[in-house]
Amino acid sequence: MALSLIFQWLALVLLMGLGIYTMWIIKNEKKTYIENAHIIIFKQFKLFTPAWWGEVPTNSENELCFKRLDTRYDWEARFIWNPTENQKDLIELFKEHIEDRKILFDEDTSIIYNPSDFKEGALITSGNYEMVRLEGTATADRQDRLYYDAFIIRNKLSGEFLYAESKSSILNGLVEGPYFEAVMTSMELA
């Protein structure tokens, strides 16, 4: 009886230790992701992607896609290069891309970041690029609930732009969303 009780306490302590270790790893993951990041050159950009993002083949040289291949997360990130000149208002251009994807954002949980909100990062501080962002919970195709995060980064001189999106189930967006944001805001010119 006493041996069984000791074994149960030992199992409980080991389980709690494993839980604490897991929380510590997750807490430090965002700090260490940059140190272990994969550098991906896409068009004129250098992306610092987390090591656990797996690149998935696409049918276009102007598109790059990532998924988590180490888990069953319902998540993907796409980077779509638009080489044609577009000098429309950046917010209007962004709205067109969201509408093309048939995404309706929840007003109470969505955040819009205007070009004036971005004051850091090598691309933005160079003065040659402008960026907008929209993130939040949404409905796609009138039925699928998702967490959607999207950026447009446009070269002010040429009008060429990169549309980047991260979409996932709502819970998975909370896991990968901060890393997608970090990839976008730490992006540099290649």
pLDDT at 164: 95
- 109: CATH: 3.40.1000.10
Residue 133 has pLDDT above 90, yes or no: no
The domain total for the chain is 2
The token duo for 151 is: 């950026």
Distance CA 45, CA 16 (A): 43
pLDDT tens digit sequence for 74-126: 889 999 999 887 778 888 888 888 888 888 888 887 777 776 667 676 777 77
Q: Judge if 96 and 55 occupy the same domain.
A: yes
Looking at the structure, tell me whether residues 177 and 141 fall in a common domain: yes
* Domain of 172, in residue numbers: 38-189
- How far is residue 96's CA from residue 82's CA, in Å, rounded to a whole number? 14
Say if CB 148 and CB 163 are below 8 A apart.
no
Model pTM score: 0.80
Phi/psi region, residue 159 (left: phi>0; alpha: psi -120 to 50; beta: rest), is left
CB atoms near residue 134 (< 10 Å): 22
Select the more confidently predicted residue: 116 or 55.
55
Cβ 145 vs Cβ 170: under 8 Å: yes
Cα 120 to chain center, whole Å?
17
Shared-domain flag, residues 90 and 138: yes
Q: Could you read off the pLDDT of 15-47 as tens digits, one per residue?
A: 998 888 877 766 666 667 777 888 999 998 999
